[in-house]
């Protein structure tokens, strides 16, 4: 379980005080550094580009992961983020059965004011210089048009527009994967994957959340929705006949399934003891504030947690389809398989008396180790 332990604190980044920095190895000594194969620092004076590309593992295939543009407090924070996120992509791609490794890129800067086509093209040239070892895609602070700009200078990019031969909006595929993971959790917990009459609370109704609400409504679930955007709540509520949550504490709501689809870390010290749901299955990333601590508490409380990086992998499956030229039907078939993988993970966790998060990580690691051993033969 060492791999899991290493990862269990990935959300609690240790940022050092400036006067302590000289005491620490700047890359290999980073808290989030975990055997990364390559870390590339990219700089261009003319466009103002400062970027870091993290390639964690390429045993299963080229490292795929999005580019995030964020106004980091300092370079230390940016490096920590790219190391943490690239490692996470290794496990997400592995558990999804894709022949891809894990990578990620961060561009330091304000996406609203500092992002230009010239900067994106220059970044694309750095990606291209890696000759396909890293394939980029969009993440926070990026849009499809930015990937199209990167595509002008490199073919090693996915998530481009349909007009340029891309797979388009991945949200419907992501939502379908979450729905499949939720059905698998219901099957394991309640003995049936029929969601008719089940009370489901969906927190966050963006692109993915709305499609999930649609699937749930069509399957006869009793859906309650909540979002910080009131107009959006009213609009989606009216469209699907979903109930709007009005209580004081959504975590203590009397529901069967809680689906976090907004920001991560909603399962934390302040909320975990209030949760009444029997199942947690949603689209948000990093739902557990501390994977080791909160995963264990959920297990002790008898709440079945569907690991986020497995059930929200529809988006990365959609992006992968561009690389391997899958049809829409093949994408949906691969996404549907999240159901079977989730059932395997739930059983593996119970059989080994570990959390579902640990189970998912160890299964992902095993696939990488097996592939590595094959290469040695």
| Distance in angstroms (rounded) separating the CA atoms of residues 328 and 321 | 8
Contact 105, 326 (CB under 8 A): no
For every residue of 123-189, DSSP letters joined together read: HHHHHHTTTTSEEEEE-TT--HHHHHHHHTT-S-B-S--GGGT-----HHHHHHHHHHHHHHHHHHH
Rounded to whole angstroms, how far apart are CA atoms 120 and 136?
12
Q: How distant, in Å, are the alpha carbons of 165, 277, 280, 375 from that of 257? A: 38, 5, 6, 42
112 carries an active-site annotation: no
φ/ψ bin of 152: left (φ > 0), alpha (ψ from -120 to 50), beta (otherwise):
alpha
Report the C-alpha gap between 270 and 248 in whole angstroms: 14
Query: What would the two tokens of residue 340 be?
Result: 């079977």
Contacts of 263 (CB under 8 A, 6+ apart): 204, 284
What are the Cα distances from residue 72, in Å, to 111, 130, 234, 343? 11, 25, 35, 39
Residue 29 and residue 109: Cα distance in Å, rounded?
25
Are 115 and 109 a contacting pair, CB within 8 Å?
yes
Asked whether the CA dihedral 66, 212, 357, 324 is positive or negative, the reply is negative
Is-contact 187 346, C-beta < 8 A? no
3-class SS of residue 117: helix
Catalytic residue among 17, 50, 92, 104: 104
Q: Pick from 120, 63, 129: which is nearest to 316 by CA?
A: 63
Pairing of strands 304-305, 279-280: parallel
User: What is the DSSP secondary structure assignment for residue 326, as one 8-state letter?
Assistant: -
DSSP-derived secondary structure for 15-49: PPPGGGGGGS-TTTTSTT-SS-SEEEEEEETTTTE
Active site residues: 104
């Amino acid at each position: 379980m060492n791999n899991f332990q290493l990862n269990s604190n990935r959300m609690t980044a240790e940022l050092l005080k400036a006067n302590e920095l000289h005491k620490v190895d700047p890359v290999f000594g980073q808290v989030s550094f975990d055997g990364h194969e390559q870390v590339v620092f990219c700089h261009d004076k003319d466009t103002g580009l400062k970027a870091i590309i993290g390639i964690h593992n390429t045993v299963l295939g080229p490292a795929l992961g999005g580019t995030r543009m964020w106004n980091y407090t300092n370079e230390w924070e940016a490096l920590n983020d790219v190391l943490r996120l690239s490692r996470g992509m290794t496990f997400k791609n592995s558990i999804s059965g894709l022949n891809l490794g894990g990578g990620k890129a961060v561009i330091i800067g304000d996406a609203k004011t500092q992002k230009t086509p010239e900067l994106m093209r220059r970044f694309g040239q750095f990606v291209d210089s890696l000759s396909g070892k890293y394939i980029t895609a969009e993440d926070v602070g990026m849009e499809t048009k930015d990937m199209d700009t990167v595509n002008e200078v490199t073919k090693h990019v996915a998530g481009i527009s349909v007009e340029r031969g891309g797979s388009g909006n991945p949200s419907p595929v992501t939502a379908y994967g979450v729905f499949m993971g939720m059905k698998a959790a219901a099957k394991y917990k309640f003995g049936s994957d029929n969601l008719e009459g089940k009370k489901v609370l969906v927190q966050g109704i963006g692109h993915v959340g709305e499609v999930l609400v649609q699937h749930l409504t069509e399957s006869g679930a009793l859906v309650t929705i909540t979002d910080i955007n009131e107009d959006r709540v009213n609009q989606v509520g009216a469209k699907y006949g979903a109930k709007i949550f009005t209580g004081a504490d959504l975590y203590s709501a009397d529901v069967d399934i809680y689906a976090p689809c907004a920001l991560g870390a909603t399962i934390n010290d302040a909320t975990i003891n209030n949760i009444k749901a029997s199942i947690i299955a949603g689209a948000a990333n990093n739902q557990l504030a501390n994977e080791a601590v909160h995963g264990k508490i959920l297990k002790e409380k008898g709440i079945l947690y569907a690991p986020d990086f497995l059930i929200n992998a529809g988006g990365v499956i959609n992006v992968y389809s561009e690389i391997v030229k899958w049809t829409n039907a093949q994408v949906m078939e691969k996404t549907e398989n999240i159901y079977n993988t989730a059932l395997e993970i739930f059983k593996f966790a119970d059989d080994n008396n570990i959390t579902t998060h640990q189970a998912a990580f160890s299964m992902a690691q095993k696939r990488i180790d097996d592939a590595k051993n094959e290469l040695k033969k």
